[in-house]
């Protein structure tokens, strides 16, 4: 990518960028800039969670979607902008993750369709491309909701079309579009009450804004890798996310707990860390800070030495990432799942599992393929497609088991010749219930209908720790408290895990059911999980109570009532 020689570009550089036609090569530069600026602000987008749960992943999903899009064109010498745009859109489709990533891929698909046959982008073509992006994105959603990324795409298109009355310079249109995108994002809480209640703007819309703003910043020669320094609550730090994207040169993970001797100059501290490594996260609680960073081998002690100069270090943790990744891969190879063989003509079920315990449950119930994924690790369209393309049958049912994976699952069905159906399971217990209805040799449509009806038989509870203080749906939540979601809706906040479990069972009318299954996650000791299970048995002596290892991150318990 063409980059300015310094953080402040010369007028000559800016003129060079803006005077050349926007052909395929220029679009590649702009897409790279959009990806880079989005990645720089990834954690900011992730933090725009409606519910105060530690699984914000919109920024991550959009970055991975854009990365897949750019990977499709990064080595291409193509100068025809229409061809480049189509390749970019195809990469976005196959790499789409989460609802935001799928909608982003639809935006690129519409954008590319408007550029078919065009060698370069001029002002009218750019406006048409934004309009086509809007139309395609809206058509790709069954029930469009305003106050989301769709609204921002719509406002962008309107601004671009209106700008044609005053300019024929595509970069001037881009500047107007970025200004409108920023305003549109700020208006999203006025259109969607859940955003207003949570005190946030729409995360997908914000991500789209950063992509387009990155393109504009590139055209002005502005830096794209200067992140906005931010401090999270300690409970919101998510090192598992950082492990999902370990890049070359990230040999060690360093975590330092410290108390600053004076008021911490966050900007200066963040700038110093950026010279040492990547995946930087900083958390704070009760005056104590925790710093997380990935660094190459030769710099593994630099963050510690620097932090020692600004405060008192209380704890240090250093992990060899390469060895850790090798060990995880070794464990996967040593403990292969016993999946159900599928015969030609039979119905195969592909299911998404957020942890090894759930994967084993699905395997035991007859799943033919299992895709690793869940909160903060949504699988891509390509991941889902690859899981069943080589199965020896042309009949496939997909269980996404997460509301943020349903759209990617449906996208996978659109790029295969096999007969496929997506059962819209929004929770893992719903997926378990549906899989119990599988009849491999049954009529495809009848089995799909029966499995779909099974979703209504389950009540799901998800128990985790609140990442911020907020009031939503009449529930007052304090950061660090235990919170409960019932079928995806926040219903209560409690000062301890045991009380949260019992309060959920009471509010979910567990007395009216027969079986309670508690899947415990990686954040709760097995002994504690079984202790709470035993207490529930005493309270519900006529129920069958099961405690199983789900292995899911972030959520201490996922509870199924049926």
Q: Is the pLDDT of residue 195 over 80?
A: yes
70 and 199 co-located in one domain: yes
Name the one residue in this structure whose structure tokens are 């003509």. 345
Please tell me whether residues 304 and 206 are part of one structural domain: no
Portion of the chain with pLDDT greater than 90, in percent: 68
Q: Which of 406, 429, 457 is the last residue of a domain?
A: 457
Based on the domain organization, do 468 and 453 belong to the same domain? no
User: pTM to 2 decimals?
Assistant: 0.82
**Average pLDDT value for the chain:** 89
What's the pLDDT tens digit per position in 414-468?
A: 999 999 999 999 999 999 999 999 999 999 999 999 999 999 999 999 999 988 8
- Would residue 224 count as lying in a domain? no
Residue 8: pLDDT above 70? no
Scanning 309-380, the segments in alpha helix (DSSP H) are 321-334, 356-364
**Residue 333 reports pLDDT greater than 90:** no
Same domain as 313, residue 342:
no
For residue 471, name the pLDDT band (cuts at 50, 70, 90): confident
Per-residue tokens: 81? 């902008």
pLDDT for res 224: 86
Residues 309 and 353 in one domain: no
pLDDT at 246 over 60: no
* CA dist 179 → 156, 159, 189, 209 (Å): 9, 9, 18, 9
Q: Check which CATH number belongs to the domain holding 410 and give it.
A: 3.40.50.510
CB pairs under 8 A, 24+ apart, for 301-310? 302/276, 303/254, 303/256, 303/273, 303/276, 303/277, 304/254, 304/256, 306/272, 306/273, 306/276, 307/256, 307/258, 308/258, 310/258, 310/260, 310/261, 310/262, 310/264, 310/269
Q: Which domain holds residue 306?
A: 247-320
The verdict on 86 and 40 lying in the same domain is yes
For the chain, the maximum distance between any two Cα atoms, rounded to a whole number of angstroms, is 79
Residue ranges in 235-301 assigned as alpha helix (H): 239-244, 266-274
Last residue of a domain, one of 320, 350, 369: 320
Boundary residue ending a domain (320, 345, 377): 320
Residue 504: alpha-carbon gap to chain centroid: 27
User: What 8-state DSSP symbol labels residue 514?
Assistant: S
Q: Are residues 182 and 286 in the same domain?
A: no
Question: How many separate domains does the chain show?
Answer: 4
| Model pLDDT, residue 4 | 41
Domain annotation covers residue 533: yes
Is residue 372's pLDDT more than 60? yes
What is the DSSP code (8-state) at residue 512? G
Tokens of 287: 């005056």
Evaluate if residue 328 carries a pLDDT over 70.
no
Q: pLDDT tens-digit profile of 36-60?
A: 999 988 888 988 888 778 767 899 8
Is 388 in the same domain as 472?
no
Alpha-carbon distance 5 to 205, whole Å?
31
Q: Are 36 and 210 in contact, with CB atoms under 8 Å apart? A: no
pLDDT of residue 232: 59
492, 549, 547: which is closest to 515 by C-alpha? 547
Percentage of the chain surpassing pLDDT 70? 90
CA distance 289 to 233: 9
The CATH number of residue 92's host domain is: 1.25.40.340
pLDDT band (50, 70, 90) for residue 133: very high
């Amino acid at each position: 990518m063409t980059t300015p020689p310094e953080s402040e570009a010369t007028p000559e550089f800016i003129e060079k960028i803006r005077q050349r036609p926007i052909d395929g090569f220029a679009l590649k530069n702009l897409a790279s800039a959009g990806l880079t600026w989005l990645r720089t602000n990834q954690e900011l987008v992730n933090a725009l969670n409606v519910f105060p749960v530690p699984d914000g992943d919109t920024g991550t999903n959009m970055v991975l979607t854009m990365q897949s899009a750019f990977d499709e064109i990064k080595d291409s010498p193509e100068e025809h902008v229409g061809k480049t745009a189509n390749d970019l859109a195809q990469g976005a489709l196959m790499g789409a993750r989460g609802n935001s990533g799928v909608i982003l891929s639809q935006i690129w698909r519409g954008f590319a369709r408007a550029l078919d046959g065009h060698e370069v982008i001029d002002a009218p073509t750019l406006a048409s491309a934004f309009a086509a992006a809007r139309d395609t994105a809206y058509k790709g959603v069954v029930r469009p909701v305003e106050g989301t990324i769709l609204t921002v795409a719509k406002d962008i298109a309107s601004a671009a079309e209106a700008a044609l009355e005053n300019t024929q310079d595509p970069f001037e249109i881009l500047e107007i579009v970025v200004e409108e995108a920023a305003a549109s994002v700020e208006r999203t809480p006025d259109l969607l009450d859940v955003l207003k209640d949570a005190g946030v703007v729409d995360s997908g819309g914000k991500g789209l804004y950063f992509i387009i703003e990155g393109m504009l910043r590139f055209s002005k020669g502005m830096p794209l890798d200067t992140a906005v320094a931010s401090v999270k609550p300690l409970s919101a730090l998510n090192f598992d996310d950082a492990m999902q994207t370990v890049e070359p040169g990230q040999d060690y993970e360093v975590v330092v707990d410290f108390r600053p001797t004076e008021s911490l100059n966050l900007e200066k501290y963040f700038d110093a860390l950026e010279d040492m490594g990547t995946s930087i996260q900083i958390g704070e609680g009760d005056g104590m800070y925790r710093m997380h960073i990935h660094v190459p081998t030769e710099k593994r002690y630099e963050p510690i030495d620097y932090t020692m100069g600004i405060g008192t270090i209380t704890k240090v943790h250093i992990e060899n990432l390469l060895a850790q990744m090798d060990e995880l891969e070794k464990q996967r190879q040593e403990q292969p799942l016993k999946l159900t063989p599928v015969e030609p003509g039979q119905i195969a079920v592909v299911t998404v599992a957020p942890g090894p315990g759930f994967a084993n449950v699905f395997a035991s119930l007859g799943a033919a393929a299992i895709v690793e994924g869940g909160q903060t690790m949504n699988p891509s369209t390509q991941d889902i497609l690859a899981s069943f393309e080589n199965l020896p049958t042309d009949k496939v049912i997909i269980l996404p088991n997460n509301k943020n994976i349903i759209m990617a699952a449906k996208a996978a069905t659109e790029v295969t010749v096999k007969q496929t159906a997506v059962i819209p399971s929004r929770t893992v217990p719903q997926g378990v219930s549906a899989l119990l209805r599988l009849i491999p040799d049954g009529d495809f449509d009848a089995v799909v209908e029966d499995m779909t009806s099974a979703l209504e038989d389950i009540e799901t509870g998800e128990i985790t720790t609140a990442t911020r203080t907020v009031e939503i749906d009449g529930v007052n939540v304090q950061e660090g408290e235990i919170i409960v979601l019932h079928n995806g809706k926040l219903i209560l906040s409690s000062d301890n895990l045991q009380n949260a479990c019992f309060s959920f069972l009471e509010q979910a009318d567990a007395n009216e059911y027969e079986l309670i299954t508690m899947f415990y996650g990686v954040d709760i000791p097995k002994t504690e999980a079984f202790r709470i299970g035993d207490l529930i048995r005493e309270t519900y002596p006529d129920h069958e109570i099961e405690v199983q290892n789900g292995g899911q991150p972030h959520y201490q318990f996922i509870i199924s009532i049926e």
